Structure 1
Amino acid sequence: MTLEVLKTKQELRDLIDDYAYLSDEKKISEVMDLFTTDINYKVFMGGVMVADVSGRENMEKDFNGHASLVKTYFTMNGQSTVQIDGDTASGVSFSQIKMIRDNGGKDVLTDYSVRYDDKYVFQNGKWLIRERVGNFIIVEARTLTV
């Protein structure tokens, strides 16, 4: 493995982690900078497609709407693999995402186990996400008691 391949793998891992960090902080406009302008983002829950959004502008509206309903995000990224082919790459990564929302004055924690299938492109000196498919494999919700 060459130094260039190792550098690219690290840049792609940083991209995946930046998505989590910025999303957790609800820095939606900065999250959008991680995508190409023609991004396509699909979400499946239990094998059923629940979202299919194209274009960065539409994504930003969607993400802002979702973030307005969430009090707290917490994401932990796990394993990831990438295959690099010049200025394009594809990869799989796994995340645990926790979201706290208000439901009738009570905090509800939803725990998501997610597999992301991504396609990346190197543009203007940096790696960006061109396509993302989020497979929400396990979803569990419970009311928090404090």
Structure 2
Amino acid sequence: MNYKELEDRIALRKLIDDVSILADKKDFHNQVQLFTEDGISETFAEGTTILKLKGRNEMSKAFSEFLKKIDTVYHLNGQQIVTIDGDGASGTSYCMITLIGTENGKKIRTNIGAVYQDTYVRENNCWLISKRIGNFDWQEKIELG
């Protein structure tokens, strides 16, 4: 592994972490800037499509709507595997997502195990996500005292 590949791997990891941090802050405007202008985001839960979005504007609106009733959003990123090919790359990232909000008058914590399949492109010397397929592999809801 050469210096350039190490630099790219660090930049791709930072990209994934920045996407999560901005989601946690509900800063959707800046979060979607980490996708290409015509980027695609698809999310599946138990094999069912729950979001299918194209473009930054559509993503920003949908992410905001999806999380509007959630008080706390917390992503914990884990393993990441990337394959880099010049100005393109692909990767798999594992993430634990915690959402805390109110449902039927009760405070609920939802934990989600997610795996993201990403396609990345380098534009203007910056890595961006051009396509993200998220699979919410499992979910648990717990009432908080």
Same fold (TM over 0.5): yes
1:7 aligns to what? 7
Asked if 1:27 is matched to 2:27, the reply is yes
Q: Give the superposition deviation at 1:68.
A: 1.3
- Please, which runs of 5 or more residues in structure 1 have no aligned partner? none
Query: For residues 2 and 62 of structure 1, what CA distance do their matches in structure 2 show?
Result: 39
Equivalent position amino acid for 1:23 in 2: A
Q: TM-score, normalised by structure 2?
A: 0.97
TM-score by length of 1: 0.96
What displacement does 1:104 show? 2.7
Whichever residue aligns with residue 123 of structure 2, its letter is Q
Partner of 1:68: 68
**Structure 1 runs, 4 residues or longer, greater than 6 Å off:** none
The percentage of counterpart residues that share the same residue type is 37
Q: Please state how far the C-alpha of 1:32 moved relative to its aligned partner.
A: 1.0
- Write the deviation string for residues 72-122 of structure 1: whole angstroms up to 9, x where unpaired: 011100000100011010000000000011113321111000000000000
Q: In 2, distance between residues paired with 1:107 and 1:124? A: 44
How many pairs were matched up? 145
| Structure 1 position 70, deviation (Å) | 0.9
Corresponding residue of 1:103: 103
Shift of 1:69: 1.5
Q: Alpha carbon RMSD of aligned pairs, Å?
A: 0.8
